[in-house]
Chains A and B, each alone.
Chain A
């Protein structure tokens, strides 16, 4: 029995320490704010904590949530990508244009993803090979990609995507109240979490962010890793562009613009929050 007590004590201490460590983290604060919002929201309206309100509420930020994932990695590596909302628009415009040319959605999606990857690669090459600051580069491509979206489709919009695809983007997962887009986000969040925390690639992203020169002298291929991060950011932004087009059944060059300037910072803050907590 005495042995049991001594064995249990350190375990309790460890749990306590871990709890205290968690309480001091940024994620704990965010969790607290979410709970607080839920309590206040429920106090104002009894409709707040319902499955319906979760469904509609979470649908609305699914694109932002998607784009924040790769952006977290970009920011951890001490770079920034302000062009994501414009890549989203370009992806939507390309989807609209290809649909007008009679391509099936099954083909449009991979083509848009490739376009997004190319946008990301363009940012990445300018940053890594030309040595330009990513903030300046992506302010430039923020205008460039949005402009190209208008060049591609003008002020037209496409609203006749097949119902089977718009249902997929708008619907809920397997009869639950969780939207498909949030399931997509959850899957990608786990994938990015594993990539960041459990692979050599992810650890080298931290190393680059902490001290780029030291990372370089430790033999990390800094430029190539950063390039990959920008390509990831562009690809996921293009995916978000497809999601928002199908979800709203509207593809046009001005999607994601109503809040275009706040939106990318919003992504940034979401991403930097996750980085602030995850930095270890």
Chain B
């Protein structure tokens, strides 16, 4: 009887191990843990609560943007305009609050999100109805939205003293020791993650990305779904823009410049395949966290400024290669095991 129980328990444990191994995001978690551990050994202060809190805080806006980007990439499209949408909505937020300090904060956030969604609608509309490749469309709107921001700001800048404290508190305050920004990012990640995992609309995004023709034949209304993905990505960029203003408190027309590469890098490092159809927003959010941690650890380890960028590039390559290597090893191990079980 004891032997039987052990066998059952062994079987259960093996299944658990197998389930853990099957998680696509595992590689990135291990890479992140290794990076934090190595940096922590070299500089113990890196592991203090305040420092770890900062890591999460720095990654949260990028995580929100990476979630939106993931939705678009899964459908085999891309949104290069995300940095410009952040700039536009960040300035909208700053401008509104500095001119009407008494404005209700939820309304401000709603307006920023709506403006982002409108930008996303334009991207999605040109991509689906205009049948122009998303790369070309969003490259165009990258310049168009940024140009709009420059026209609108006209060289002005919004500073911290012009903004209400309640609003700035969102960017810097904490609840039970956890920064608000991190809480918001977590909510976004989990909600969108579950929507993608369990809801029909979410699953259809994967179908469109892995086989557009197949999805169409199966009755998926591709254009509408792709449009939804772009609008959601724009809305999340709008939220990111409002949070940008809350966190940095200084906004001009250049806010968010160059974010598109970091955001796409975060998604790709997190295992979102650029050719659509695979990946999860959890991976993308972890990718954002990994990129932020790489930058922070280089600063903590006092790597010379000239070497920092080269090191970021090298670590990025190592992270991608490591994730791939781990993925291949696990896949091979699982295949061997199931072959043994079948035999």
* Chain A contact residues, CB within 8 Å of chain B: 82, 126, 130-133, 135-137, 139-148, 150-151, 154, 261-262, 265-266, 268-269, 272-273, 276
Query: Do A133 and B268 touch across chains, with their CB atoms under 8 A apart?
Result: yes
Of B80, B139, B268, B314, the contact of A144 (CB 8 Å cutoff) = B314
When the two chains form the complex, which single residue of A130, A140, A265 contacts B139, counting CB atoms closer than 8 Å? A265
Give B41 Cβ to nearest chain A Cβ, in Å: 24
CA distance A261 to B262 in the complex (A): 11
**By the criterion CB–CB under 8 Å, are A126 and B321 in contact?**
yes
Residues on A with beta carbons closer than 8 Å to the beta carbon of B268: 133, 135-136, 139
- Beta-carbon nearest neighbor of A260 in chain B: B258
Kindly identify which residue among A132, A133, A150, A272 contacts B135, using a CB–CB cutoff of 8 Å: A272
Considering only residues 282-317 of chain B, those with a C-beta below 8 Å from chain A are: 306-314, 316-317
Interface residues, chain B, with chain A CB atoms under 8 Å away: 80, 133, 135-136, 139, 142-143, 257-258, 260-261, 264-265, 268-269, 273-274, 306-314, 316-317, 320-321, 324
Among A131, A147, A154, contact of B324 (Cβ-Cβ < 8 Å) = A131
Quick check: B313 and A142 within 8 Å, CB to CB? yes
Query: Mostly helix, strand, loop or mixed at chain B's interface?
Result: helix
Assess the B264–A143 pair: CB atoms within 8 A: no
Which of A131, A140, A268, A273 sits near B317, CB closer than 8 Å?
A: A140
Shortest CB–CB separation between residue A140 and chain B, in angstroms?
Answer: 4
A147, closest chain B residue (CB): B310
The chain A residue sitting closest to B138, CB to CB, is A265
The residue of chain A having its C-beta at the shortest distance from the C-beta of B317 within the complex is A140
Q: A136-B274, A144-B313, A265-B139 are in contact. List 15 more A-B contacts (CB 8 A).
A: A126-B321, A132-B320, A133-B273, A135-B268, A139-B261, A139-B316, A140-B265, A142-B261, A147-B307, A147-B309, A147-B310, A147-B311, A151-B307, A262-B143, A268-B139
> Smallest CB–CB gap between B138 and chain A, Å?
9
- Could you list some 26 contacts between A and B, CB below 8 A? A126-B317, A131-B324, A133-B273, A133-B274, A133-B320, A136-B268, A136-B320, A139-B261, A140-B313, A140-B314, A142-B261, A143-B312, A145-B313, A146-B313, A147-B306, A147-B311, A147-B312, A148-B310, A151-B310, A154-B306, A265-B142, A266-B139, A268-B139, A269-B136, A272-B135, A276-B133
The answer to whether A150 touches B306, judged by C-beta atoms less than 8 angstroms apart, is: yes
Shortest C-beta distance, A115 to chain B (Å), equals 15
